[in-house]
């Protein structure tokens, strides 16, 4: 069979994709796997060039170049700033003040209840800032809190009916924001970007949840060499 080697390659990629996404709770999708392949396949070609003495050997340095890493940091920061401008436009007629309040409410909308700590951790935010946002939402009547029956030291937070109505009222504008932020990327490019951003988010979330107090040198050592 002329395509047998392709099937074997696909099975290896599928196994790698499954291991990389072992921590995800949602079902893995074919489209996400295709995005994964789009990213991995050029690396295979590059490796062949290296083995044959090709001119792409510099790609296999222990870490990505400093310039590439710097560019990623700057571009992610700039994209976030652009998104904040659009979000402010979407919320200009709402009692929801800013993207943080919106994000907290959307998270509460998708959960029956959350402890304050759980809610703040999901938002990847400092405790003091997170508490201020929660208190504002409670004061506005968008959220309510009550004692955790299993832990007297903890408070449970829940979205109110008023909060649900406010969120629903701004969703059409937020949908427009999402389309604008995605910009001129094709559907294929969006899929690739989603896959890469999920991978980065998984990496950084593990640090936030388990190792955020460690120094930068220790965190840098967690990065696997580019192959």
Distance CA 201, CA 173 (A): 25
> CA dihedral defined by 95, 97, 98, 99, rounded to 10 degrees?
-60
**Residue 106 CA to its chain's centroid (Å):** 15
Domain range annotation of the chain = 1-56, 64-209
Reading the chain (227 residues) residue by residue, the pLDDT tens digits are 566 677 777 777 788 878 777 766 667 777 777 777 776 665 444 444 443 444 444 443 444 457 788 888 899 999 999 999 999 999 999 999 999 999 999 999 999 899 999 999 999 999 999 999 999 999 999 999 998 887 777 889 999 999 999 999 999 999 999 999 999 999 888 988 988 898 889 889 889 888 888 999 998 887 765 44
Burial of residue 11, with CB atoms counted within 10 A of its CB: 0-12 exposed, 13-18 middle, 19 or more buried: exposed
Query: Is the whole-model pTM more than 0.85?
Result: no
Domain 64-209 classified CATH 3.50.50.60?
Answer: no
Burial 15-36 (b: 16+ CB within 10 A, else e): eebeeebeeeeeeeeeebbebb
Phi, psi torsion values for 145, nearest 5 degrees:
-125, 155
């Amino acid at each position: 069979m002329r395509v047998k080697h392709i099937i074997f390659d696909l099975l290896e990629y599928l196994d790698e994709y499954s291991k990389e996404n072992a921590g995800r709770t949602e079902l893995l999708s074919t489209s996400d796997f295709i995005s994964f392949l789009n990213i991995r396949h050029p690396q295979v070609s590059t490796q062949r060039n290296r083995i044959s003495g090709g001119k792409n050997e510099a790609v296999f340095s222990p870490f990505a170049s400093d310039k590439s890493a710097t560019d990623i940091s700057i571009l992610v920061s700039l994209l976030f700033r652009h998104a904040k401008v659009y979000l402010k436009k979407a919320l200009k007629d709402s009692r929801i003040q800013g993207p943080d309040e919106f994000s907290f409410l959307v998270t509460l909308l998708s959960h029956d209840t959350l402890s304050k700590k759980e809610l703040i951790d999901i938002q990847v935010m400092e405790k003091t800032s997170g508490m201020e946002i929660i208190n504002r939402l409670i004061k506005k009547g968008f959220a309510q809190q009550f004692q955790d029956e299993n832990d007297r030291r903890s408070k449970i937070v829940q979205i109110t009916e008023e909060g649900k109505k406010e969120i629903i009222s701004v969703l059409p504008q937020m949908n427009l924001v999402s389309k604008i932020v995605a910009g001129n990327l094709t559907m294929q490019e969006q899929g690739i970007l989603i896959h890469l951003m999920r991978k980065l988010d998984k990496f950084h979330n593990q640090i936030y949840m388990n190792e955020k107090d460690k120094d930068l040198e220790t965190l840098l050592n967690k990065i696997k060499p580019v192959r």
